[in-house]
Amino acid sequence: MNIIFLLTLAYLIGSIPTAVWVSKRIYGLDIRDHGSGNAGATNTFRVLGKKAGIGVMLVDMLKGFAAVYLSYLSVHSPGSEQMTNLQVGLGLCAVVGHIFPIWAGFRGGKGIATLFGMILAIHPIVAVSLVAVFLVMLFLTRYVSLSSMAASVAFPVLILFIFKDQAPEMSYKLFAIATACMVVLTHHKNISRLLAGNESKVKLTKRNK
């Protein structure tokens, strides 16, 4: 199937504005007008609570996962370098779609959950390791933003040093490094709030108000 078509389809899948649709249709508000203003799972947790946050997170992860699996509609052989390159491209298109969704005025979230879904589809063991890093950091600090950044920085470390034999493609290694940089850059406001002591902590046992 035409590669341009697949990349476009991946972008459109990523553009599904889960948090916006959930907040508007179920709660009668636009999530982008509350909390941090981002249309993602973290802000949904913060504004609408755990139930809505988990739902948005799972669907956003599925977007990245589904986008990567579009690669099986191509002529490339599974496991080949061309296949991995295409999967990275499809996943990135989904992440871009989440950040700049055509269905929601190009105002989306930061793409962390969609990015994770992409990694889960390409390299499950790395994804599980990143979840462990995220959960440990969240348990220790209660900061979702800090946990996301810790997991993103752990990504290239795992690819370059721990699982280097399982992910030999240079495009994937460059993607891991770029991902860590991108996540840190998109969280610059959170970093400022953390340094100022104004970042919100997540309550893991009670509904967020």
What are the CA-CA distances from residue 190 to residues 15, 56, 74, 195, 201 (Å)?
24, 20, 39, 9, 11
Decide: 90 and 119 in contact? Cβ < 8 Å.
Answer: no
pLDDT tens-digit map of 55-106 = 999 999 999 999 999 999 998 888 888 998 999 999 999 999 999 999 999 9
pLDDT tens-digit map of 120-137 = 999 999 999 999 999 999
What was the pLDDT predicted at 166? Answer: 72
Against a cut of 0.75, is the pTM above it?
Answer: yes
pLDDT score of 153 more than 90: yes
Decide: 98 and 60 in contact? Cβ < 8 Å.
Answer: yes
What was the pLDDT predicted at 188? Answer: 80
What was the pLDDT predicted at 202? Answer: 67
Closest CA to 179 of 109, 92, 55: 92
% of the chain surpassing 70 pLDDT: 95
% of the chain surpassing 90 pLDDT: 65
Q: What are the φ/ψ torsions at residue 34 (nearest 5 degrees)?
A: -135, 160
Residue spans per domain, the chain: 3-196
pLDDT tens-digit map of 177-209 = 998 998 888 788 788 888 888 777 766 554 444
* Mean pLDDT in residue range 32-44: 91
Where helices occur in the chain by DSSP H, the ranges are 3-14, 18-27, 41-48, 50-69, 81-99, 112-122, 124-141, 144-157, 170-186, 188-196
Contacts of 191 (CB under 8 A, 6+ apart): 145, 149, 184
Closest CA to 72 of 122, 113, 117, 115: 122
Q: Is 154 helix (H, G, I), strand (E, B) or coil?
A: helix
Stretch among 87-96, 110-119, 154-163, 181-190 having the lowest mean pLDDT: 181-190
